[in-house]
């Protein structure tokens, strides 16, 4: 593929650039990474966004085809019903005409004047002329002719009219059924073509993703080194100024500082727990010795592998790195929600290196913690990167805590953890996310918008370096709707002009920017499809459009899968479903692979299974690439998951055999009893009596140690 080759060449050139880019032990100031290096990170995100967009496009096309197929089936059923009704009505009309003809023919044969006249008699005689002898034999009907002839004529005419109407209705519904069938056939061909194109495109991206992922790892190392260089520069400044960092207790009160030290100010106010000195005409920040020790220890953990709930020395979980950094000065509680009430919160404008940053929201709970640095960065155990890293402070920062200030002066209550809080631990989101809060609709009505700038597009016009939403160009004043139910927050940031943010609970938010008008009040509850405003071009905008975002746990994710399906597979480790490079997976043997934590748990399960049955755990399917999902879906659309949504594509699902593939067997019952102990579960939909009975399908759930 030409595009893939071009990307590969670009990555190779950037790899050479990275290899030549080295950092001094410290520098003053530390130079930013070359723009081209930063572009690699955007390139990785762009590749991931492209993959997600392809999957979303295919999902949307498939859903359109499925709906068209259902519509065609309904139209066909309606047409057949109408045709049956038409046939029955036509038969009834013939019978009514026949009965009227009998009466008229009798009157004519017996010389009795017909009250309906010659025209009606001729109209009625045609279908019954062969029955005249039968008419002549029915002398008893003669006395009824005068009183019943008009009534029977009216009944016959009404039946004829009903027959014509039913015939017209049947013809109309048959035309609609044929049109629906044609549309379904056309969409079927489009889906097949999209499937083939998507599979080919995804195959071409795997190598690119692998290369971009490796360069991203090198970028992370460079970022870690740069942050360390800046920290060393600061320590050198302190040493040059002959400042010995004092104990935390000495700096606790800005109004009672040691001689020669001045209050450190930030946000127009003195910073508690820190001070400053002037040396050589420069103001140098002074942090407590305990804080400096904590930051030094945090830096010493960089690159250590991530492990769920791990506290070292080999691996570190969400809280593990922060906890080790601040020991022995203080021992943090074992849950982030318990950390928050125990240490003094400080204003965001006064955050200093060493502060504990807790991430989360009121509707989600607290899900992550890091040790603050300067430049909007922190050191944290990051599941998506698989190690302790220097990373940006995410948008879902809930609060900053300063351990050296001790207990809070006022009670600090952490938000209650929701059922989905686990899905957002340690800077990562779940592999899939169900909106679960009512119907999901598009923010603009069909036919009122175009598809504009996509999620993930790189560019200097965005402060993040890439586009964090999906744009929909539309005329000013076009109604904007809430995609699902939630609580409104109205904001007016410079970039968006007028912004409606809707909290849907459990970490899910949607944002609607550049609105020309806002039609909902702050704090109100809205339902799916309710008008919340109108398209505009307020704020940082190049023309009338809606900028729409979906955020999970504070992080922007590609909105298109949500819009296509009402649910979303949002990624693991930054990769799209079915697009995880082999280098990021771990083997099970016989060519099978899973996400590494799932693989470790599977091997433990397999060991227990062998101990019980004396046989190897039988497996038929594990990680399934996107192209493999497309192939399976084409062959088994009623059984396979929509490509891009299968948990096989995240490397966290297996299909088993050897008896486990049948309900009620000893092997299946053993799995039901013991698999959860190793983090493996049989989803409810796959249970006997579930929506799709699959005894063989098992998924890696929350690890038991979480």
How far from each other are the two terminal CA atoms of the chain, in whole angstroms?
A: 43
Per residue in 554-613, pLDDT (tens digit) is: 778 778 767 766 666 555 556 778 888 787 889 998 899 998 888 988 999 999 999 999
User: 511 falls in which pLDDT band (50, 70, 90)?
Assistant: very high
Q: Give the span between the Cα atoms of 299 and 479, in whole angstroms.
A: 50
Nearest alpha carbon to residue 526 among 603, 438, 648: 438
Percent of the chain with pLDDT over 90: 44
pLDDT at 46: 66
Give the mean model confidence (pLDDT) for residues 186-202.
80
Cβ–Cβ under 8 Å, residues 289 and 243: no
Residue 106 is inside which H or E element, if any?
A: helix 35-110
Whether 221 shows a pLDDT value over 50: the answer reads: yes
Mean pLDDT of the chain: 81
More confident residue, 212 or 79: 79
More confident residue, 304 or 429: 304
**What phi, psi does 269 have (nearest 5°)?**
-135, 155
Cβ–Cβ under 8 Å, residues 344 and 398: no
Q: Is 331 exposed, middle or buried (0-12, 13-18, 19+ CB in 10 A)?
A: exposed
pLDDT at 562: 76
- Lowest-confidence region among 141-150, 285-294, 631-640: 141-150
Q: Which fold has domain 457-569?
A: Glucose Permease (Domain IIA) (2.70.70)
Distances (CA, A) of 531 to 521, 535, 560, 669: 12, 11, 20, 51
Highest mean pLDDT pick, 15-24, 293-302, 679-688: 293-302
Cβ–Cβ under 8 Å, residues 534 and 477: yes
Distances (CA, A) of 193 to 184, 189, 504, 577, 637: 14, 6, 36, 20, 16
Per residue in 425-439, pLDDT (tens digit) is: 787 766 556 555 456
User: 28 falls in which pLDDT band (50, 70, 90)?
Assistant: very low
pLDDT at 49: 67
Give the mean model confidence (pLDDT) for residues 289-317.
93
What letter does residue 536 receive in the DSSP assignment? B
More confident residue, 45 or 271: 271
User: 111 falls in which pLDDT band (50, 70, 90)?
Assistant: low
Whether 637 shows a pLDDT value over 50: the answer reads: yes
Q: Give the span between the Cα atoms of 576 and 48, in whole angstroms.
A: 6
More confident residue, 123 or 167: 167
More confident residue, 339 or 578: 339
CATH number of 582-700: 3.30.1380.10
124: its two tokens: 């009625």
Whether 135 shows a pLDDT value over 90: the answer reads: no
Cβ–Cβ under 8 Å, residues 444 and 480: yes
101: its two tokens: 């003809």
- Residue found by looking up tokens 């599979």 in the block: 199
Give the rounded distance of the alpha carbon of 554 from its chain centre: 13
386: its two tokens: 């698989």
Cβ–Cβ under 8 Å, residues 256 and 293: no
Whether 503 shows a pLDDT value over 80: the answer reads: yes
Domain ranges of the chain: 43-118+133-226, 243-289, 295-405, 457-569, 582-700
Q: Give the span between the Cα atoms of 334 and 706, in whole angstroms.
A: 11
pLDDT at 653: 92
Give the mean model confidence (pLDDT) for residues 628-632.
82
Give the mean model confidence (pLDDT) for residues 11-33.
36
pLDDT at 216: 76
User: 125 falls in which pLDDT band (50, 70, 90)?
Assistant: very low
- pTM score over 0.75: no
Sequence length of the chain is 706
Q: Which fold has domain 295-405?
A: endopeptidase fold (from Nostoc punctiforme) (3.90.1720)
CATH of 43-118+133-226, one of 3.30.230, 1.10.287, 1.20.1740, 2.170.140: 1.10.287
Please tell me whether residue 104 adopts helix, strand or coil conformation.
helix
Whether 674 shows a pLDDT value over 60: the answer reads: yes
Per residue in 357-402, pLDDT (tens digit) is: 999 888 888 989 999 999 999 999 988 788 999 999 988 899 999 9
pLDDT at 690: 76
Whether 121 shows a pLDDT value over 70: the answer reads: no
Count of beta carbons in the 10 Å neighbourhood of residue 322: 30
Q: Nearest 5 degrees, angle CA 266-CA 275-CA 267? A: 5
Give the rounded distance of the alpha carbon of 97 from its chain centre: 65
Whether 110 shows a pLDDT value over 90: the answer reads: no
Q: Do domains 295-405 and 457-569 have the same CATH topology?
A: no
Strands (E), 492-618: 499-505, 508-513, 517-518, 525-526, 531-534, 545-552, 555-557, 567-568, 585-589, 592-595
Give the mean model confidence (pLDDT) for residues 40-58.
65
pLDDT at 33: 41
For CA atoms 494, 495, 498, 504, the dihedral sign is: negative
Whether 39 shows a pLDDT value over 70: the answer reads: no
Preceding amide of 313 cis, omega within 30: yes
Give the mean model confidence (pLDDT) for residues 156-176.
87
pLDDT at 26: 33
- Residue found by looking up tokens 């010995």 in the block: 244
More confident residue, 285 or 153: 285
- Residue found by looking up tokens 């085809």 in the block: 65
pLDDT at 669: 96
As a three-state string, the secondary structure of 15-63 is: HHHHHHCCCCCCCCCCCCCCHHHHHHHHHHHHHHHHHHHHHHHHHHHHH
More confident residue, 298 or 137: 298
Q: Give the span between the Cα atoms of 233 and 238, in whole angstroms.
A: 9
What letter does residue 301 receive in the DSSP assignment? T
Nearest alpha carbon to residue 629 among 658, 653, 601: 653
Per residue in 437-483, pLDDT (tens digit) is: 456 788 999 889 888 887 777 677 777 677 888 899 999 999 999 99
């Amino acid at each position: 593929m030409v595009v893939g080759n071009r990307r590969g060449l670009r990555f190779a050139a950037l790899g050479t650039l990275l290899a030549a880019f080295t950092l001094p032990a410290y520098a003053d100031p530390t130079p930013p990474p070359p723009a081209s290096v930063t572009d690699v990170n955007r390139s990785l995100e762009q590749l991931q966004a492209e993959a997600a967009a392809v999957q979303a496009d295919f999902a949307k096309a498939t859903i359109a085809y499925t709906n068209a197929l259902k519509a065609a089936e309904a139209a066909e059923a309606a047409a057949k019903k109408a045709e049956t009704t038409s046939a029955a009505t036509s038969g009834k009309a013939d019978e009514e005409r026949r009965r009227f003809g009998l009466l008229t023919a009798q009157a004519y044969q017996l010389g009795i004047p017909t009250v309906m006249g010659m025209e009606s008699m001729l109209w009625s005689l045609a279908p019954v002329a062969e029955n005249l002898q039968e008419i002549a034999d029915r002398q008893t009907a003669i006395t009824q002719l005068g009183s019943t002839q008009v009534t029977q004529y009216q009944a016959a005419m009404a039946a004829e009219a009903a027959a014509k109407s039913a015939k017209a209705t049947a013809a109309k519904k048959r035309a609609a059924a044929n049109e629906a069938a044609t549309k379904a056939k056309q969409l079927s061909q489009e889906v097949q073509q999209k499937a083939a194109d998507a599979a080919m495109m995804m195959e071409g991206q795997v190598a690119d993703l692998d290369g971009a992922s490796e360069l991203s790892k090198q970028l992370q190392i460079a970022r870690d080194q740069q942050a360390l260089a800046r920290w060393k520069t600061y320590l050198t400044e302190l040493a040059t100024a002959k400042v010995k960092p004092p104990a935390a207790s000495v700096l606790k009160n800005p109004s009672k500082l040691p001689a020669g030290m001045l209050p450190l100010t930030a946000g127009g106010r003195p910073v508690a727990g820190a001070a400053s000195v002037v040396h050589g005409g420069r103001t140098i920040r002074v942090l407590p010795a305990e804080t400096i020790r904590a930051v030094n220890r945090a830096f010493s953990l960089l690159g250590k592998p991530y492990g769920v709930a791990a506290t070292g020395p080999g691996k570190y979980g969400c809280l593990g790195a922060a906890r080790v950094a601040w020991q022995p000065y203080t021992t943090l509680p074992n849950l982030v929600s318990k950390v928050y009430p125990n240490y003094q919160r400080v204003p965001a404008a006064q955050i200093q290196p060493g502060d504990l940053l807790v991430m989360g929201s009121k509707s989600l709970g607290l899900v992550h913690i890091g040790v603050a640095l300067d430049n909007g960065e922190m050191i944290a155990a990051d599941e998506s990167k698989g190690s302790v890293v220097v990373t940006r402070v995410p948008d879902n920062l809930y609060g900053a805590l300063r351990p050296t200030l001790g207990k809070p002066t006022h009670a600090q209550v952490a938000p209650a953890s929701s059922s989905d809080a686990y899905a957002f631990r340690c800077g990562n989101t779940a592999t899939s996310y169900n909106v679960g809060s009512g119907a999901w609709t598009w923010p603009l009505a069909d036919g009122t918008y175009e598809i504009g700038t996509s999620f993930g597009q790189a560019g200097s016009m965005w402060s993040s370096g890439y586009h964090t939403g999906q744009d929909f160009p539309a005329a000013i004043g076009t109604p904007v709707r809430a995609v699902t139910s939630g609580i409104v927050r109205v904001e007016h940031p410079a970039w968006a002009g007028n912004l409606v943010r809707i909290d849907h609970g459990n970490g899910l938010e949607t944002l609607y920017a550049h609105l020309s008008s806002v039609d909902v009040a702050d704090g109100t509850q809205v339902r799916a499809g309710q008008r919340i405003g109108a398209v505009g071009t307020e704020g940082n905008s190049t023309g009338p459009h809606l900028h729409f975002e979906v955020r999970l746990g504070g992080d922007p994710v590609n909105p298109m899968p949500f819009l296509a399906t009402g649910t979303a597979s949002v990624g693991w480790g930054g990769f799209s479903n079915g697009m995880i490079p082999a280098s990021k997976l771990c083997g099970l043997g016989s060519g099978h692979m899973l996400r590494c934590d799932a693989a470790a748990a599977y091997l433990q399960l397999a060991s227990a299974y062998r101990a019980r049955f004396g046989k190897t755990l039988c497996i038929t399917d594990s990680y399934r690439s996107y192209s493999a999902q497309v192939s399976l879906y084409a062959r088994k659309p009623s059984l396979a998951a929509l490509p891009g949504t299968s948990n096989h594509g995240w490397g966290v699902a297996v299909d088993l055999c050897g008896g486990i593939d049948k309900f009620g067997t000893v092997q299946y019952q053993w799995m039901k009893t013991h698999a959860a102990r190793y983090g493996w579960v049989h989803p409810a939909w796959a249970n006997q009596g579930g929506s799709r009975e699959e005894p063989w399908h098992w998924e890696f759930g929350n690890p038991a140690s979480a």
